[in-house]
């Protein structure tokens, strides 16, 4: 494994779930098994956060999928880090490709949100990744550089940051980066952190892969040196599949 931290698996439920389905999923997750040295995070919608915090097993950590760029106040419709902390949350996902593309969140805005969340005491899963057009036109590394710089220019301490590489062309499409493609980019990100931030940050920061991860491909991906875990979308809504993914690194070690 590339980093010195625990293997890290986060389930992003996106804008899915009803009271009934979330209750069922939590019950099934509570009876799932995974190694104690794997950090497992689930990220429900804002409206389901209180239920999940109150009912999910303490082996899981709970994350929000987004938060506001500043402190609480007169910002209708926004949820600030203080609100998340008040619920007992530690984690928030920021810069997800769907927010970058659909809500036009810029590299700078994602960086500002990351800095604000960290300053308020949150831990951040910071997402980066290129589109198929950007990859095929040779712009991939420029895109990743800009996304990483947007964060690195605004924070000094990376201790509470997990970087999620999610090639946009592999999210929800059924396409998945090959293990070698994932490893190539993860190694690039790790070198970028060593060169542009600090070698010790590069060695300590977990870099996780997101993009159509499922129970069939997770073990092979987990076997790559610089893949420190996963950001899981659709498969995280199926407890059995998610449990298999949470055990992917144990299968590699065995």
* 252: pLDDT strictly greater than 90: no
* 250: pLDDT strictly greater than 90: no
Residue spans of the domains in the chain: they are 7-253
- Rounded to the nearest 5°, which phi and psi values hold at 8? -130, 120
Region 231-235: what's the mean pLDDT? 96
The pTM for the full model equals: 0.97
Q: Are 212 and 253 in contact (CB under 8 A)?
A: no
Region 131-149: what's the mean pLDDT? 96
Q: What is the mean pLDDT of the chain?
A: 96
Q: Is the dihedral of CA 25, 26, 27, 33 positive or negative?
A: positive
**Which CATH class for the 7-253 domain?**
alpha beta
- Kindly list the catalytic residues: 96, 166
Q: In this predicted structure, what is the pLDDT of residue 15?
A: 98
Q: In this predicted structure, what is the pLDDT of residue 65?
A: 98
Q: In this predicted structure, what is the pLDDT of residue 171?
A: 82
Q: In this predicted structure, what is the pLDDT of residue 254?
A: 60
Q: Are 225 and 2 in contact (CB under 8 A)?
A: yes
Residue 172 binned pLDDT confidence (cut-offs 50, 70, 90): confident
- Rounded to whole angstroms, the Cα distance separating 20 from 36 reads 28
Closest C-alpha to 53, from 88, 27, 6: 88
Residues 67-97 have pLDDT tens digits of: 999 999 999 999 999 999 999 999 999 999 9
Closest C-alpha to 42, from 69, 21, 14: 14
Region 99-117: what's the mean pLDDT? 98
- Cα–Cα separations (whole angstroms), residue 5 to 43, 64, 148, 159, 212: 20, 21, 20, 11, 23
Q: In this predicted structure, what is the pLDDT of residue 84?
A: 98
Residues 4-19 have pLDDT tens digits of: 799 999 999 999 999 9
Residues 189-228 have pLDDT tens digits of: 999 999 999 999 999 999 999 988 999 999 999 999 999 9
């Amino acid at each position: 494994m590339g980093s010195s931290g625990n293997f890290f698996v986060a389930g992003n439920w996106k804008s899915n779930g009803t009271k009934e389905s979330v209750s069922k999923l939590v019950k099934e997750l509570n009876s799932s098994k995974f190694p104690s040295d794997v950090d497992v995070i689930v990220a429900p919608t804002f409206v389901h956060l209180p239920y999940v915090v109150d009912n999910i097993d303490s082996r899981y950590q709970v994350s929000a999928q987004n938060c506001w760029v500043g402190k609480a106040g007169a910002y209708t419709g926004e949820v600030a880090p203080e609100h998340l902390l008040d619920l007992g949350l530690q984690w928030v996902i920021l810069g997800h490709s769907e927010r970058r593309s659909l809500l036009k969140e810029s590299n700078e805005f994602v960086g500002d949100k990351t800095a604000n969340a960290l300053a308020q005491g949150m831990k951040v899963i910071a997402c980066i990744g290129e589109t198929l057009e950007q990859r095929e036109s040779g712009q991939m590394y420029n895109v990743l550089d800009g996304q990483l710089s947007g964060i690195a220019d605004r924070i000094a301490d990376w201790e509470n940051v997990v970087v999620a590489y999610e090639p946009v062309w592999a999210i929800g499409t059924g396409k998945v980066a090959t293990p070698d493609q994932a490893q190539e980019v993860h190694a690039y990100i790790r070198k970028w952190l060593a060169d542009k931030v600090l070698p010790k940050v590069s060695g300590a920061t977990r870099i996780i892969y997101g993009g159509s991860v499922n129970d069939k491909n997770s073990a092979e991906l987990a076997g790559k040196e610089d893949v420190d875990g996963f950001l899981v979308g659709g498969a995280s809504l199926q407890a059995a599949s998610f449990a298999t993914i949470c055990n992917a690194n144990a299968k590699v070690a065995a």
